[in-house]
A and B are shown apart, each in its own frame.
Chain A
Amino acid sequence: MTLTGCGQKTSDHGAETVKIGLAAPLTGPQAQLGQDMANGAKLAIDEINVGHPQIDGKAVIFKLLSEDDQADPKTATNVAQRLVDDGVAAVIGHMNSGTTIPASRIYYQAGVAQISPSATAVKYTHQGFDTAFRVMANDAQQGTVLGDFAVQTLGARRIAVIDDRTAYGQGLADQFEQTVKSLGADVVDREYTTDHSTDFMAILTNIKAKKPDLVFFGGMDPQAGPMIRQMRQLGVAAKFLGGDGVRTPQFITLAGPDAEGAYASTPGLPITKMPKGPEFQAKFTAKYGPIQQYAPYAYDAAYVLVNAMEKAGSSDPKKFLPVLRQTDYQGVTGPIRFDARGDLTQGSITLYQVQKGAWVPLQTVQSR
């Protein structure tokens, strides 16, 4: 058993091993998304290792240590400590805002770099931790773009808002509501569900009575799929709009033909238009099946970390953290540059629509 190993680096074929942690829910209700994220990071690390990476002229091998945080804040801090003990130089994770925030304190105290591919709560990067980064637009950025799109592009005047009462869904929905109100649209109904519900008939019946022309959902695809089906079943013809939690292939399989015409956003540029995008997509799909959600972000996070280490000539976070902050990288999700807090600077956000059973990019917007 490898119980020990605080900071110690084992050698493998003479190459020094640099450990990178990955923390996400790998069991429990959100396991599928966590696994997607882990697979994205794994693909990047495998690719990098094939290319005989070097840091400061010495051959290195990157090793990804995956841990299951069960989407539970307490387990997340345990996992964070465990990764720190194992001597990771950086961590890709966690997935949920509720786990990313408590874990970020442990990484900060240990001086380990952290990039979350998916945590969107604004607070994560506002704690004054110089180790915390993310490669995804935060709720404020994405919610604003979605609000603009709903009112200005889709011309919605009567809007109903639903959120799933998670940190992600509520954060996004609140920002969206604020934006559409400021643009003069009416929020005719605000309804709530949970992140494990499948029956939305009651709240959708309420919404139907208010005759909205657009329904916004802050939440994930396991809810969005049956939600849009039940909406159509009740005869609600309003447009359906969601965030990155909805823009997944799983949404289309779960919603079936009712998915047609739904809108959703995703931070970053359309993957097919990025230089390395199609190649990544092909490789990932061949190895792990369709991309669900966070794989490309985790993939970019891994590259951003390795690039910073290579450029700094060190896998010591003290040395590569300043370089990481100066990142200027063309990832498969778009250009990645960080501001002083660790958020993406002027992250671009792309809007998509389901057309003939597939997500088609409509337009890319720079967040305000």
Chain B
Amino acid sequence: MDILAQQIFNGLVLGSIYAVVALGYTMVYGILELINFAHGEITMMGAMVAISVIGMGLAAGLPALPLILLAMLAAIAVCMCLGLAIERFAYRPLRHAPRLAPLITAIGMSILLQNIAMLIWGKQYIPFPPVFPQGEHRLLGAHVTDVQLIILATTLLLMLALTLLVQRTPLGRAMRAIAQSQPVAQLMGVNVNRVVAATFAIGSALAAVAGVLVAANYGQAHYYMGFLLGLKAFSAAVLGGIGNIAGAMLGGLLLGLIESLGAGYIGPLTHGFLGSNYQDVFAFFVLILVLVFRPSGLLGERVVERA
């Protein structure tokens, strides 16, 4: 029983991380129908900036709590600027281009950012200084750390804030309008460029927070860490129904749980024939199965694809 509780908790933490990154993917996709492949790299940049700031802060003798906030703010600021710059210079000129063209730019951007980070922070794995509280607890038989609880709480908070933003504010209304139809929204007086830029800024800020949390949880960062994380998060967003904020959350949590329980129980389920080496196969298999029966994801709306 302890083992099951632990596996579920493991899955929830992993899933929360996926969910925060997936939120960024889904927001951009919702209004631009663009898979922002560079989103994972923005997460990585957030982690790197935070580590640098914490390193400097520790050297200056700052106490932990203000230091965490400062690092978080710095990461958010840098990532927002980065997101805005990428949108402005790499994606905006291609907004009316064939559908796959911005995808390739996004892939190019992703490679570019990785290598820039490699030049700035070097090729080694960078340890994340232990500034977060390091307490450990027992919860329903599962071992739980403070960082993990912070991750769960932050995810919940971000999710609520984002839902409010999209449902209750003028910016949110504009975003929804553009998602429905960009030309009509424009005719209704929505400044499309400004709203898209705002979306990128918010998505990048989320990525920055996710990056800091990931690095703190695993105790390390590396210039290549964003690629796989981004891919998993993108899968999570699709699973939940891409373009849908609650869907990203659900997809993220589900993917985390599937991976965790898959690695945990695939052996017993197949009588030891398959082991944890098939963890990803299991995850993708579930993903494919879900999409076969619900072709627009769990919470996605069934829309006729525009040509």
Contact = CB atoms under 8 A, between A and B. Distances in A.
Interface of A: 27-29, 31-32, 35, 165, 190-194, 196, 198-199, 201-203, 205-206, 208-209, 221-222, 225-226, 229, 233-235, 250, 253-256, 292
Contacts of B115: 27
B218 A198 contact: yes
Contacts of A225: 125, 127, 219-220
Nearest to B10: A201
A234 B6 contact: yes
A222 B259 contact: no
Contacts, number: 94
Interface stretch (B32-40, B52-60, B272-280): B272-280
Contacts of A196: 224, 228
A35 B122 CA distance: 10
Given A31-B123, A32-B124, A226-B220, A206 B263 contact: yes
B260 A201 contact: yes
A32 B276 CA distance: 28
Contacts of A209: 3
Contacts of A229: 219
B127 A191 contact: no
A203 B276 contact: yes
Residue from the set B214, B218, B228, B275 with the largest chain A CB neighbour count within 10 Å:
B218
A35 B223 CA distance: 15
Nearest to A196: B228
Contact of B267 (A27, A206, A250): A206
21 contacts: A28-B224, A32-B124, A32-B125, A35-B123, A191-B263, A196-B228, A198-B218, A198-B225, A201-B13, A201-B14, A202-B263, A202-B264, A202-B279, A222-B220, A225-B127, A225-B219, A225-B220, A233-B136, A234-B143, A250-B124, A254-B219
Given A27-B115, A199-B14, 9 more contacts: A35-B123, A165-B277, A201-B14, A205-B3, A206-B3, A222-B125, A225-B125, A226-B219, A254-B127
Nearest to B3: A209
Contacts of B263: 191, 202-203, 206
A198 B222 CA distance: 11
A26 to B, nearest CB: 8
A191 B278 CA distance: 10
A37 to B, nearest CB: 12
Contacts of B118: 27, 31
B193 to A, nearest CB: 35
Interface residues of B, number: 38
B154 interface: no
Interface string B202-233: 00000000000010001110101100100000
Nearest to A225: B220
B224 A205 contact: no
Contacts of A234: 6, 143
A202 B259 contact: yes
B43 interface: no
Nearest to A249: B124
Contact of B264 (A28, A31, A206): A206
A35 B124 CA distance: 10
Contact of A199 (B136, B218, B280): B218
A222 B7 CA distance: 23
A235 B130 CA distance: 19
Contacts of A193: 276
B296 interface: no
Contacts of A35: 123
B189 to A, nearest CB: 46
A206 B123 contact: no
Nearest to A206: B264
Interface in B104-139: 115, 118, 122-125, 127, 130, 136
A348 B214 CA distance: 40
Contacts of B136: 233
A137 B184 CA distance: 68
Nearest to A32: B123
B74 to A, nearest CB: 22
A265 B170 CA distance: 62
Contacts of B13: 201
Nearest to B11: A202
Interface string B262-300: 111001000000011101100000000000000000000
Interface string B176-220: 000000000000000000000000000000000000001000111
A250 B125 contact: yes
Nearest to A165: B277
B143 A233 contact: yes
A205 B7 contact: yes
B121 to A, nearest CB: 11
